[in-house]
Structure 1
């Protein structure tokens, strides 16, 4: 989803430059509050304002910006209606950037910003690699990665003077990173460069330009890797698609797909691992239940996905024509944003703010909905189930080393997360 921030920034900048010839929004150091407030949280929960908005009016005009109406959809049923309607909405942002909309035109790749027929063709190439049968071959790898990272966690704690270690750089980030590297087929000698680029995407100390530069850097890396594997296909996803489809897919398209797998599978999974573990350690009864009965892990993971909803906004939809949602008339050309955290806690259709294992299931919107639903959803579930189950079994006394309210959450981000999760591995005394 980091690419979503980049693309939206560029899209708005293009429209302003076309109108004024003088303004460059890439230099802005903050998002207007009229657009920012739906991204704010109360702890890990959607803000009280966002939940009140959903309960009172689940479809409302958020703001008019540079001649475009921006609408916010917050209800579960209403979000599903928008996200499932590919006839009324486009996700292709290229026409808003003065480009033709062809999959080979411009600097946007992947599935998220692509409409049929390009989306249909590209997704058809990728789907076979993400079936449960294919993904099961990664199960031993995921377990090996988790075990190795817990070894590193224990070593770091043993060397820490106070026994406190941060779960984010030792477990939450490296587990999905290493799995993605193996999935894509990146050779070992190139992973350190890739790790540096990936880490920078999480580091906001350099401001927007630093983060956007890191995003561009990772895409350039993947495009170069695709070009290299075109002549020497590796054992992973990139090489497999080259071997099976050859000239049917261009380097640009394949690089976009690889970047989509990377951005969708790293930032979201790392955030979920960090936040999910922190939630379980805060609610010890859940931690003890998981340790006593690992079979609850799939249901528990789905409820954590629903409650935490780290992807805050689905890919923006652009109304192709006038549409009506929940009795509200949305004019053609409007941008429609679906708030996934608000929808996932909608009390009209689910348990709301309560974690309910009896009602848990994959029907939440954490992975989106419709034909743009995250293609890597099952891989993310596998990583979460394996990591949380192994943590609970191997480190039953794992505990937060800070009060939950003192954890530093990302204040304003498309992918919600926590900067660090300090923990102790053993009970005091």
Structure 2
């Protein structure tokens, strides 16, 4: 992917003196850092500022259609918080392991645990017993919450396991959640996120909602991302969040034509680069749907940048501009020199959503954090002259071939543009002559 240069770096939010990119979004204001509030306090405090303060429905059980109004949600949260704190004696800094499939009880449980300062540690409900044992080893939970279908995989904990289907005031610096990520090494790590981190990400999301403009009615989000993912902490379909392979499937498959998608307003896409050819094919098929790419990572409590609004969504291939509160640098991986707009390098990010560290892994934290709080993302990126961020690929996934650095994502996007290819994957192969393996899934009606 070719990067462009610019004669006016300040239009990209770039300060040549500090070699730092600043957000071009409106400023975002957070509570004073020493204010004794949790992320739950913050979320409830801004509810009255919503564009739809009188909206009543908070959650809908997709299996039964049962609706839980905000008044009931808050009542249940307070009742459960009392039980957890006064009966079970859970308190600040205790860790609760949550192994549950998506259900309406989980958001209520999260709010209750976070409100009393308990650290939430959600795991994948399809994990094996040995994988869950590793999560327990990392986070050291005193209690677990599960369903009747997942409880049998949990080891014995001090306070046991509570089935979800049958106050010591926290500080902003307290760990609020432990999410699991492979980091940059492939071995699973426990990422410690504080109440301050979560407050920051709620503020980012609220800011983007305000910037997107007024709607005639409250949006309805189809939540395709599992609640144990970092997305799980950011609470006729209008909006859908999904990964690029689903977008490719919508373009390539004929199944979308069998459904009425007229109420669909926008798709928010993240987790991997999305090729311009796929975007063009999607817009041709769904011209009324706004396709917005975003970028984030667990160590930054989720979002870093996002395309906002119809005008920005025309910047095909970009993952948008930096959210307020965040700063970024593009750094040459070899010289460690900070680079101006148009130059490719490793993306470094700094802000209040930067994670506290890895559980029981101080060396891993040091390896991933740099001086003055800058987080090295491990992603090859660049900014254009308008401050839009582009992700090329993961640095560690670049393929060295005949002296060149080849980005697998670019080859995959090229292959996916062929009408006969349903999906594609590119991986390096270690052999004396060098080489690359390309795997494609073809449609039976095509010969390639």
TM-score normalised according to structure 1 size: 0.27
Q: Work out which of the two has the higher radius of gyration on C-alpha atoms and give 1 or 2.
A: 2
| Higher helix residue share | 1
| Higher strand residue share | 2
TM-score normalised according to structure 2 size: 0.26
Higher relative contact order (CA 8 A, sep 6+): 1
